[in-house]
């Protein structure tokens, strides 16, 4: 092994030399550690970027580069074969007078606003049911998680469509209670509730996260509150919610972003038809589907890019509001409340 009392040459040999414990420490004056430290820092940086190189290529080639291209295309008319033609803000102004675009915005907004809170409420409720250690707890936790793994697949979409058809399982079960709703999937007013039900069915993923958060809440807090005569609702409001608010924030953020991007389930539940079909009365024409239709069925890639940036803007606004609001309702541990 080489010694380090002379400035070691760069390269692989040098690397070992500097790390070597046999460095003659007593004879080393002040300047040398500084220069070795700098050299070491440079090598660390080189190593870091070597390890990171696939990721760097990926983010440039498949994320940042495409984002720039997309931003440019948003201001053009582009059909993939002729070269893009600059049209300024025409795509955006067309959007605002496009009835189907507005429809897709409304459909997606309704889905995000109803499906997300519903799913999280179910997830939190079930997590609170499961948090006390009892026999079978692990089993239930796993079983309830399963739908999150398969829920977004085409298969489950087909199953859902079958369950909610006219004279199918849901319709006939409800008829037993004297409510003949007909087929949910064929009815413009009821196809969205069908999709929301599918989303709520996948409560397992946020539930697992809630459970982990609930387990961190010290039991003494509840015992103390109980002694003070706080009822169940009061304990939930004053202890559970503040204590798990970081987890709630995280779940809310993830699920909202997720809901904005709903695609496969809506497409399958809307049923056969492919191409231009947004379900009964376009009631399931979610935003991403309309984007797909414009970009890939109609080959209006400029318009689709503009739509994509509007989606990104929408998600960014919601995310920003969420982050801004967290000061008011999210309590973090540090800082001693």
Partner 1 sequence: MSAPTGTVRTARPVRPPRGGAGAPARRGARSVLWHLGALALLAVVLYPVVWVLGGSLKPGNEIVGSLELLPTDPITDNYERLADGIAGIGIETFFLNSLLVALGSVAGVLFSCSLAAYAFARIRFAGRNVLFTLMIGTLLLPVHVLLVPQYVLFQKMELINTYVPLLLGKFLAVDAFFVFLMVQFMRNLPRELDEAARIDGCGHWRIYWTIVLPLCRPALITSAIFSFIWAWNDFLGPLIYLNEPDKYTVSLGLKMFMDQDSLADYGGMIAMSVAALLPVLLFFLTFQRYLVEGAATSGLKG
C-beta of 89 vs 154, nearer to partner 1? 154
Min separation Cβ 114 and partner 1, Å: 19
Min separation Cβ 93 and partner 1, Å: 19
C-beta of 106 vs 271, nearer to partner 1? 271
C-beta of 181 vs 242, nearer to partner 1? 242
Rg of the Cα atoms in the chain: 28
C-beta of 30 vs 50, nearer to partner 1? 50
C-beta of 35 vs 45, nearer to partner 1? 45
C-beta of 63 vs 97, nearer to partner 1? 63
Please spell the DSSP secondary structure of 123-143, one letter per residue.
HHHHHHHH-S--TTHHHHHHH
Q: Is 77 helix (H, G, I), strand (E, B) or coil?
A: strand
Q: Which residues of 167-181 are buried (b: 16+ CB within 10 A; e: fewer)?
A: eeebbeeeeeeeeee
CA dihedral 25, 28, 29, 35 (to 10 degrees): -110
Token representation of residue 150: 């398969």
C-beta of 73 vs 284, nearer to partner 1? 73
Min separation Cβ 163 and partner 1, Å: 6
Min separation Cβ 219 and partner 1, Å: 13
Min separation Cβ 281 and partner 1, Å: 20
Min separation Cβ 189 and partner 1, Å: 21
Alpha-carbon distance of 233 to 274, in angstroms, equals: 48
Beta carbons of 122 and 200 less than 8 angstroms apart: yes
Tell me the C-alpha to C-alpha distance, in Å, between residue 311 and each of 61, 71, 259, 265.
Answer: 22, 13, 12, 19
Give the bridge partners for 86, in sequence order: 76
Q: Output phi, psi for 76, to 5 deg.
A: -130, 170
Instruction: Taking each helix axis as running N to C, give the angle between helix 301-329 and helix 241-260, from 0 to 180 degrees, rounded to the nearest 10.
Output: 180
């Amino acid at each position: 092994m080489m010694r380090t009392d002379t400035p070691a040459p760069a390269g692989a040999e040098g690397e070992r030399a500097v790390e070597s414990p046999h460095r003659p420490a007593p004879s080393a004056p002040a300047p040398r550690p500084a220069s070795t430290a700098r050299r070491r820092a440079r090598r660390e940086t080189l190593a870091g970027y070597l390890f990171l190189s696939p990721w760097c290529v990926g983010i440039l080639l498949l994320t940042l580069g495409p984002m720039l291209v997309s931003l440019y295309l948003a201001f053009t008319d582009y059909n993939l074969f002729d070269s893009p033609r600059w049209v300024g803000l025409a795509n955006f102004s067309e959007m605002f007078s496009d009835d189907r675009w507005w429809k897709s915005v409304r459909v997606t907004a309704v889905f995000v606003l109803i499906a997300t809170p519903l799913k999280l409420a179910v997830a939190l409720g079930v997590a609170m049911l499961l948090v006390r250690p009892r026999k079978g707890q692990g089993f239930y936790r796993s079983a309830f998680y399963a739908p999150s793994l398969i829920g977004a697949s085409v298969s489950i979409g087909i199953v859902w469509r079958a369950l909610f058809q006219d004279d199918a399982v849901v319709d006939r079960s409800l008829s037993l209670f004297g409510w003949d709703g007909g087929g949910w999937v064929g009815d413009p007013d009821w196809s969205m509730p069908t999709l929301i039900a599918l989303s709520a069915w996948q409560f397992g993923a946020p539930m697992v996260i809630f459970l982990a958060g609930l387990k961190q809440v010290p039991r003494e807090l509840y015992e103390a509150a109980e002694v003070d005569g706080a009822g169940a609702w009061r304990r939930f409001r004053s202890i559970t919610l503040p204590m798990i608010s970081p987890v709630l924030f995280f779940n809310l953020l993830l699920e909202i972003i997720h809901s904005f991007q709903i695609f496969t389930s809506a497409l399958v539940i809307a049923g056969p038809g492919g191409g231009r079909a947004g379900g009964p009365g376009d009631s399931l024409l979610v935003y991403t589907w309309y984007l797909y239709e414009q970009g890939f069925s109609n080959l209006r890639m400029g318009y689709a890019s503009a739509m994509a940036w509007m989606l990104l803007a929408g998600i960014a606004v919601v995310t920003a509001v969420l982050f801004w609001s967290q000061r008011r309702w999210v309590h973090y541990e540090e800082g001693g409340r």
